[in-house]
Amino acid sequence: MYDQTPEERLDAAIRVGAVAPGLLAAAHRLSRGEPPVEPRPELGFTANYLYQLTGTEPSPDQISALSAYLVAAIDHGFNASTFTARVIASTGADLAACVTGALGALSGPLHGGAPGRALAALDEIGSIDRIDPWVRDKINSGGRIMGFGHPVYRTEDPRSAMLKEIALSFGGPRVELAVEMERQVLALLTELKPGRELHTNIEFFAAVLMEHCGIPADLFTPTFAVARLIGWTAHVLEQAEDSKIIRPSSRYVGPTPPEPIPALSERSQAG
């Protein structure tokens, strides 16, 4: 990027953000043996993504819900994937390299890989009467309950609160199960782990929302990436303005090395 003008970098960023949803939808359909769906730009960014993904024009509430999620997921400080993108950008690598590195970081279950696992937990529980024993087993065994906890928030994630309100507008058994699971997880954590503050994060209700929009679970993280891509490229453009590489320092904390063996000449003289 250091060989490009700011205008060329911006053009690349806009192009990447524009083509990502269509590429993702086409790749998904091809992986299932289905032909890609031609885009309909008049539908708009969110509606066109869902249309190319499912082949069916989405409903207004699906468009509104997914749009809210994509906006909420665009950027969130120096999270792992964003920092990865900025480190790569500081080397002068091109935009594609920055985005590729950020995608690698986002794929981890402690970052963008959580929504699919949150939905899997709801599938595993199945019904409201099974929540209590499932959660108790997870907590007592030291397991991780995906969709809960955040490295920054020690109170409720405001993005989660917004998505919860949207999910409640859908109604239905799945939403009821998710809301009751949230209530019981928080109550059981208070009972079994007093003093440990864990609340739902954006991934928990995002899973319920994306399922409602017809997005399969294996595309939850890629859909997150469609949104966060806009944030990544904004950070990359900013980082490219400073042609200085990010180079953190480190301090050795391992065992003390043994005393060096005297050289042969030193031992001869000592003899």
Annotated catalytic residues are 150, 203
Work out the number of other CB atoms within 10 angstroms of the CB of residue 77: 8
Q: How far are the Cα atoms of 14, 41, 198, 219 from residue 226, in angstroms, in the given order?
A: 12, 17, 27, 10
Angle between helices 6-31 and 95-106 (to 10 degrees): 50
Residue 260 CA to residue 25 CA, distance in Å, equals 61
Q: What are phi and psi of 242, to 5 degrees?
A: -115, 105
Residue 24 CA to residue 90 CA, distance in Å, equals 27
Q: Would you say how long the chain is, in residues? A: 271
Q: How far are the Cα atoms of 126, 127, 179, 193, 198 from residue 186, in angstroms, in the given order?
A: 19, 18, 11, 10, 7
Q: How far are the Cα atoms of 150, 180, 241 from residue 143, in angstroms, in the given order?
A: 16, 20, 43
Q: Is there a contact between 227 and 69 (Cβ–Cβ < 8 Å)?
A: yes
Q: How far are the Cα atoms of 17, 92, 93, 234 from residue 99, in angstroms, in the given order?
A: 10, 13, 10, 11
